[in-house]
Chains A and B, each alone.
Chain A
Amino acid sequence: MSYSDSLDQAITTVKQQSILVQRSLAQRKLMDALRYSSIMLTELRNPKLLPKQYYELYIMIYDALTVLSNYLFENHPKKHHLADLYELVQYAGNVIPRLYLMITVGTTYLKCPDAPTNEILKDMLEMCRGVQNPIRGLFLRYYLSQRTKELLPENEVALNSQFIITNFIEMNKLWVRLQHQGPLREREQRTKERKELQILVGSQLVRLSQVIDDNLTMYKDQILPIILEQIVQCRDIVCQEYLFDIICQVFPDEFHLNTLDTLLETTLLLNTDISVNKLISTLVERLNGYLKRIEQQEITNQSKVDVFDVFWNYLNKLNEERPDLSISQMVSLIEIVLNLNLHWFPNNFENLNKVYELISTKCNDFDNNIPKETEFVFLNILTLQNFDFLDSNFYFKLVIECPAYSSLLSSQNSNLQTAAINKLLDVFITADNFVIDSKTQLESFLKLCEPLIKMKLKRALANESSPTNQSSNHPMDPFVVKNSTNVGQSGVSEEKQKISRENIDDLLSFDPNQEKLSKFIHILFNSVLKSTTFKKLESQVEILLIIKNWLYKGGKNITFTYPSVITNFWRLIRKASLFMNKIPKKKPYYENVIKQNFKYISRCTTEMFNICGAQSNDQVFKIILQTASLADQLEFGEIAYDFFSQAFTIFEECLTDSTTQFQELIYMAQILQRTRSLYKEDYYDSLIVRSTLHGSKLLKKQDQCRAVYLCSHLWWATEISSLGEEEGVTEDFFRDGKRVLECLQRSLRSADSIMDNVQSCELMVEILNRCLYYFIHGEEYETHVTVNYINGLIELIKTNLKSLKLGEEAQLSELRIDDNPRNVTKNTLVNGSDGNYVQIGDNNMNTTSTVLNPQSKLLRVSDLIQVPIQHFHRTCKYIVNQRDIDPRFETIVV
């Protein structure tokens, strides 16, 4: 008998024959039915079918044979005896139809109570050997398995499992053999086909698992060794990987727990090309899943211990027996065991330490030569980032209780170290619920951070090697030059001023690692504060000093990290001051503590100043001023004065560019203006005079002018509400109107002497506004800023503006010859508080202003002169408006 040429044809044949079988059975013509069945089964002889096509036919035929089987059962033994039929069907000339029919009859016979069950089972199994073609054999044996399901004799576990195992072994052989059939170039195709067929083989183990149920002894002693032997012997990768996986999946957790060593042992015997990791990983996943499944139940600690130990022994054995494993493979494996331990014994840091030790040893074996592509494994091992159930407390203990962890970390390359530490710090930063109880613990953490602390910043190095034009005393804002080169094409709305990194000193740009470190310093210190060991303020100071000293190792990096330390000193100082106020008896003690802390801050700033170079001067200057401010608030006038002096020293000795100088001076004035405890010993007086003097000596006249009118406020204290001061109520504000006026006059002189009319006018309007400030603030006798003075100033401004307008017209006529006729909207340009022009883009897309240096070539005179004019108009309008509230304004002539 022959089969169809195509699948479609085969399907048609099967359908037809299947109908004929049913019809014959309806007419009780069994012989016909068998004959049609045989024709139908002939289609399964077709060697050209792909597994999926074969399966399609198989399913159809299976259903048709079920109909036959039912008929056979119902009519036995009235119309026929199944024993006879069992022989009869064996006359079929072809082996495949014969065996399918035989199994159909044989399994039907099994349903009958008087059947010689064991003999039939044995016979069917044996006869199936006649099919040696892998695909056809697999399906035939699958058919046998499907048909015998539910029919295996009850309470004969040993027999049944033997039956299934035998069938499984044969199926596995066929399946493995498929790989070696056909031409070599179709190898991959074969592998693909095998994967499509693997479920047939795997299903046998599922059956086996059902049959042996919970009979652990049998599984352990009889079943598993046989299965594993098959797996080992076939030496086939696809098979070994798949079946190992299936074993892990289909048998109960308890079985695995009790046969772990056998399973692991087996992996050592498999094909060396196999990924042991995959197998172990599957097993571990299974065991970890077990934990979840029995979450409610109690697990005895005993069984828990075993799991890790078994794997641990296995790792060591593997390490000895498989020197061929690469470090990547080995470390990945260890990672899997790590995974196991983390799930089973998340609090066993002893185990963890062992694991990390092993990795370290392994690294040493490979001379710490870790391939690039393996780094992520190390990162995983060091950060455990895949285990989302681990909390910061776990990591805390990891650092504290696993010395091997730290030493492994420190032996990695710097990139890896940095990445790992970063991840760790992220954990600690987001969940700071741990407590550091001892200095040793603290040191562990600082040691952990050491690579970050000492990290050499590439940019900083680059800077040292090539001196840049960014040295501190550059006479002009360097950006201006740069900016003016960009000018040209597109008119007024310009892009932001950008400076390429190569040309400027960008050490000050913040480094993400140092940022993290800085954040961590807060966390670290806070977790020390939580500890009862460090309840005393004094011990807290000591801890902070330890941290500071570690950070000192970072060299220039302290520019990033010291501010965090200083912040904490500030906090300690405030705390000490609170204690001082509440425990009056110990006032001297706390005074001393506070003084000490200020000294520590001073040491910090000095170190920053000495080590970090000119780039940090501005920062140091401001920290010193802020510390001075704090000292003043706590009524440590002398200390405050000392810090102010330090600030002056920096200001005077380290020349920076004029913009910075101007801003620094203003900031100094702002801080000084709010001091309250420097009045003794004329500290305040000397400081404000000194700063005003500096203001008047600034490089640019417009800076001088602004600095001096702002310094006028130093003689006119204003309320600090948190001190309970209130304008009009508080009597004893430090105020000296004469000096205020002097400053304003000095400022006006500077403004007047400026050659640039526009700037001169603008500054005068600004001074006018300052005058109005004082005018509101007090009576003329107090402020010395009189109506006459104001009116005079207004006159002066008006005159100057007039001449400015005249000049403008002349200039405009000149300009219009060659300039772009498009006129710029008037109100888009103003002068900022630092003298730079602020320009608002007039298209709606760009809503943010651009800052332009007064020298910028983008500015056009016609636009510029509008700045003081408009500012003056606004000021006048303000004066007029004020008349409603304050009648004194009536006297000001606008």
Chain B
Amino acid sequence: MSLFFKSPIDIEILLDGEESRKHVDIPAVKNSDTRTSKDSFPLYEDGESISGIVTLRVKEGKRLEHLGVKVSIIGSIDMAKTNGSTSGTKMSSSSDVRKKAVDQFLCLSYDLCPAGELTHSQNFPFLFKDLAKRYESYRGKNVDVSYYVKVTVMRKTTDISKAKKFWVYLYNDISNSTSEITNDSSGKQKTDLAEVETTEENANKDGAIGDGNNRENVNEQKMVSKSTDEEGTSNISKPVRLDIGIENCLHIEFEYGKAQYNLKEVIVGRIYFLLTRLKIKHMELSIITRESSGLKPSSSLIDSTAIRFEIMDGSPVKGETIPIRLFLGGYDLTPNMSCNYFSVKNYISLVIIDEDGRRYFKQSEVVLYRTR
């Protein structure tokens, strides 16, 4: 529309101290092939006031009648329309799909000026004091959480509006985040100890790889539940120890520092080999971010590998201990989050690739949270 009719008024939103404010670079949604293009947004946190100046510029010699000027703060959860499928191909197309707001969890507005006529450019300061922000900004595959300041010039005909996006980080303290996790993780139980991941690179492998080796180990479940139990208490720094294996083939102990990390932390751990009949080529540690969205019957899960980190080259023998050290700070990771419409979870995934190219993996949920 604006292409055909040039807007009679320019709306400019300038946030206070915007130049000096910290910005966050977010990969642009559009043109996903050119990765380098990034959007940069000023960063705010929960409870922080947002203030600025709105400048309305009327074209020289023109005047504009309006029914009032309104400034709003809006926070919304937007979701793609597509249903269900998590398949890779659909996923890529889905990112192009326009997301529609499903929930506007925040919407505050007030009038900057009453109805009247604008004949010259005019500035209106605005302020939303101590604004509570419930969710962190998020740009996912199917879901976005966006915040923006919106200025609307109401008219008899079409309103003229302008929005300015800003970014929100929520710095959680630990107890806060744990409660979130307990709520969400309790619902799901992982059954596979190690399974063949038929990703792009070995999708052409025979299907037989999948069975046999991938037996569920009772211990594993116990381990996980044990660790969740403990998370409820204050003992969050207790190491996570996973005892995993493939019968008569592989038996390892996977241990890392704790179940929750803030995004600047280092995952330190070790893998202890108790039995290796497998000819291992190398071993990787990944952080997988899982976005789940939609309501139960048609909910969709999208995994994306946030970090892929080789931790071992070659095949160890029994008794060998492989150290793990993964600095999280250098990566753009998404902290865990959840609401009624979607959730983001993180998993540590241990992948063992044997000499025949078979991949064995073990995922274990890890909570990532943002701290100051």
Where the two chains meet, the residues of A that have a C-beta atom closer than 8 Å to any C-beta of B are 45, 47, 87-88, 90-91, 93-96, 98, 126-127, 129-134, 136-137, 173, 177, 181
* A residues near B310, Cβ cutoff 8 Å: 93-95, 98
CA gap between A347 and B315 in the complex, in Å? 57
* 24 CB < 8 A contacts A-B: A45-B313, A47-B281, A93-B308, A93-B309, A93-B310, A95-B312, A95-B313, A98-B310, A127-B323, A127-B325, A129-B320, A129-B321, A130-B312, A130-B313, A131-B314, A132-B280, A132-B313, A132-B314, A132-B315, A132-B322, A133-B314, A134-B314, A136-B313, A181-B315
Which residue of the partner chain, among B281, B317, B323, B327, contacts A130 with CB atoms under 8 Å?
Answer: B323
CB distance from B62 to the nearest CB of A (A): 52
Rounded to whole Å, the gap between the CB of A145 and the closest CB of chain B is 19
B330: chain A residues within 8 A (beta carbon): 88, 91
The interface residues of chain A lying within 8 Å CB-to-CB of B164 are none
Asked if B251 is an interface residue, CB under 8 A from chain A, the answer is no
Closest to B280 in A: A132
Task: Across the interface, name the chain B residue whose C-beta is closest to A176.
Answer: B317
Minimum CB–CB distance for A713 against chain B, Å: 102
User: Nearest chain A CB to B161's CB is how many angstroms away?
Assistant: 43
Are B314 and A137 neighbours in the complex by a CB distance under 8 Å?
Answer: yes
Taken together as a complex, chains A and B put the C-alpha atoms of A87 and B282 apart, in Å, by: 22
Q: How many Å lie between the Cα of A87 and that of B266 in the bound state?
A: 10
Set of chain A residues within 8 Å of B322, measured between Cβ atoms: 129-130, 132
Q: What residues of chain B lie closer than 8 Å to A95, measured between beta carbons?
A: 282, 310-313
Verify B312–A87 contact, CB threshold 8 A.
no
Q: Does B75 contact A (CB under 8 A)?
A: no
Contacts of A94 in B (CB 8 A): 310, 313
CA distance in complex: A725, B93 (Å): 140
Q: Which residues of the other chain, A, contact B308 by a CB distance below 8 angstroms?
A: 93
Specify which chain B residues have a CB less than 8 angstroms from the CB of A87 in the assembled complex: 327
Roughly how many angstroms separate A126 CA and B298 CA in the complex, as a whole number? 48
Top 10 nearest A-B pairs (CB, nearest first) are A133-B314, A132-B314, A132-B316, A95-B310, A94-B310, A131-B313, A95-B313, A91-B330, A130-B312, A133-B313
Q: Are A90 and B327 in contact (CB under 8 A)?
A: yes
In the complex, what residue of chain B is closest to A135 when comparing beta carbons?
B314
| Residues of chain B within 8 A of A98, CB atoms compared | 310
* Partner among A45, A91, A96, A177 whose Cβ is within 8 Å of the Cβ of B317: A177
Q: Give A131 to B280 CA distance when docked, in angstroms.
A: 12
| Residues A126 and B315 in contact, CB atoms below 8 Å apart | no
- A-contact bits for B310-347, CB 8 A (1 contact / 0 none): 11111111001111010100100000000000000000
A131 touching B309, Cβ below 8 Å = no
Give every chain B residue within 8 A of A96 (Cβ-Cβ).
313
With A and B bound together, what is the CA distance between A137 and B311 in angstroms? Answer: 13
Please indicate the chain A residues that have their CB under 8 angstroms from the CB of B314 in the complex.
131-134, 136-137
Q: How far is the CA of A385 from the CA of B137 in the complex (A)?
A: 92
A-contacting residues, B286-325, CB 8 Å: 308-317, 320-323, 325
Q: Interface readout for B129-173 with A: 1 if CB under 8 Å, 0 if not?
A: 000000000000000000000000000000000000000000000
B281 CB, min distance to chain A CBs, angstroms: 8
A88 smallest CB distance to B (angstroms): 8
Q: Dominant SS at the A interface?
A: helix
B159 to chain A, nearest CB (A): 48
| Chain B residues within an 8 Å CB radius of A129 | 320-323
Give Cα distance in the complex from A94 to B353, angstroms.
14
Task: List residues of chain A with CB within 8 A of the CB of B315.
Answer: 132-133, 181
Cα A842 to Cα B310 in complex, Å, equals 95
Count of B residues near A, CB < 8 Å?
Answer: 20
C-alpha gap A87/B329 in the complex (Å) = 10
Q: What distance in Å separates the Cβ of B177 from its nearest Cβ neighbour in chain A?
A: 25
Bound-complex Cα distance A98 to B281 (A): 17
A363 CB to nearest chain B CB (Å): 45
Most A C-beta atoms less than 10 A away, residue of B310, B312, B320 = B310
Report the minimum CB–CB distance from B341 to chain A (whole Å): 34
Instruction: Please give me the residue from chain B that is nearest to A87 by CB atom.
Output: B327
In the complex, what distance in Å separates the CA atom of A91 from the CA atom of B314? 20
Q: How far is the CA of A177 from the CA of B310 in the complex (A)?
A: 22
Q: A129-B320, A132-B320 are in contact. Are A90 and B325 (CB under 8 A)?
A: yes
Enumerate chain B residues within 8 angstroms of A133, measured Cβ to Cβ. 313-315
A177 and B276 CA atoms in complex are apart in Å by 13
A-chain residues with CB within 8 Å of residue B320 when the two chains form the complex = 129, 132
Q: Which residues of B contact A177 (CB under 8 A)?
A: 317
Check B309 against A130 for contact (C-beta < 8 Å): no
Distance in angstroms between the alpha carbons of A173 and B316 in the assembled complex: 10
Report the bound CA distance from A127 to B308 in whole Å.
18
A130 partner residues in chain B, CB cutoff 8 A? 311-313, 322-323
Chain B contacts of A134 at CB under 8 A? 314
Find out whether the CB atom of A126 lies under 8 angstroms from the CB atom of B323.
yes
Chain A residues within an 8 Å CB radius of B311:
95, 130
Give Cα A90 to B321, complex, Å.
19
The chain A residue with its CB closest to the CB of B312 is: A130
Q: Across the interface, which residues of A come within 8 angstroms of B323, CB to CB?
A: 126-127, 129-130
How far, in whole Å, are A670 and B330 apart by their CA atoms in the complex? 120
CA–CA, A173 and B311, complex, Å: 19
Give min CB distance, B68 to chain A, whole Å. Answer: 53
Contacts of B317 in A (CB 8 A): 173, 177
Assembled-state Cα–Cα distance A461/B220 (Å)? 90
Bound together, the chains give a CA A90 to CA B330 distance in angstroms of 10
* CB neighbors of A among B221-277 (8 A): none
Interface centre among A96, A126, A129, A137, by most chain B C-beta atoms within 10 angstroms, is A129
Task: Determine how close the nearest CB of chain B comes to the CB of A170; give it in whole angstroms.
Answer: 10
B280 contacts across to A, CB distance below 8 A: 132
Contact of A131 among B312, B321, B325 (CB under 8 A): B312
A173 to B314, CA, bound (A): 13
Closest-CB distance, A612 to chain B (whole angstroms): 78
Q: Which chain B residues lie closer than 8 Å to A136 at the CB level?
A: 313-314
Given contacts A95-B282, A177-B317, contact A132 B312 (CB under 8 A): yes
Residue with the greatest number of chain B CB neighbours at <10 A, chosen from A47, A134, A136: A47
Quick one: closest B residue to A88, CB to CB?
B330
Contacts of B282 in A (CB 8 A): 95
Chain B, residue nearest A181 (CB): B315
Using A95-B312, A131-B314, A133-B313 as known contacts, list a sample of 15 further A-B pairs with CB atoms less than 8 Å apart, ordered by residue number in A: A88-B330, A91-B327, A93-B310, A95-B311, A95-B313, A96-B313, A126-B323, A127-B325, A129-B321, A129-B323, A130-B312, A130-B322, A132-B316, A136-B314, A181-B315
- Docked complex Cα distance between A130 and B271 (Å): 10
Instruction: Output the least CB separation between A785 and chain B (Å).
Output: 112
Name the CB-closest residue of A to B315: A132
Taken together as a complex, chains A and B put the C-alpha atoms of A88 and B266 apart, in Å, by 12
Q: Report A672 CB to chain B, min CB distance, Å.
A: 98
Instruction: Tell me the smallest distance from the CB of A120 to a CB of chain B, in Å.
Output: 14
Q: How far is the CB of A653 from chain B (nearest CB, A)?
A: 93
Measured CA separation A126–B316 after assembly (Å): 15
Measured in the bound complex, the distance between the Cα atoms of B272 and A129 in whole Å is 11
User: How far is it, in angstroms, between the C-alpha of A133 and the C-alpha of B315 when the chains are bound?
Assistant: 6
Cβ of A137: which chain B residues have Cβ within 8 Å of it?
Answer: 313-314
Q: How far is the CA of A47 from the CA of B320 in the complex (A)?
A: 21
| Chain B min CB distance to A632 (Å) | 96
**Minimum distance in angstroms from B308 CB to a CB of chain A:** 6
Nearest residue (CB) in B for A97 is B310
Of residues B281, B308, B316, B330, which shows the largest number of chain A Cβ atoms within 10 Å of its Cβ? B316
Residue of A nearest to B330 (CB): A91
Measured between beta carbons, the chain B residues less than 8 angstroms from A173 are: 317
Complex: A94 Cα to B323 Cα, angstroms: 14
Nearest CB in chain A: distance from B75 CB, A: 34
Q: A89 to chain B: closest CB distance in Å?
A: 10
A700: shortest Cβ distance to chain B, in Å? 97
User: A136 to B282, alpha carbons, bound, how many Å?
Assistant: 12
User: A115–B327 Cα gap in the complex (Å)?
Assistant: 21
Residues on A with C-beta less than 8 A from B313 are 45, 94-96, 130-133, 136-137
In the complex, the chain B residue whose C-beta lies closest to that of A96 is: B313
Q: How far is A130 from B284 in the complex, measured between Cα atoms in Å?
A: 11
The chain A residue with its CB closest to the CB of B326 is: A90
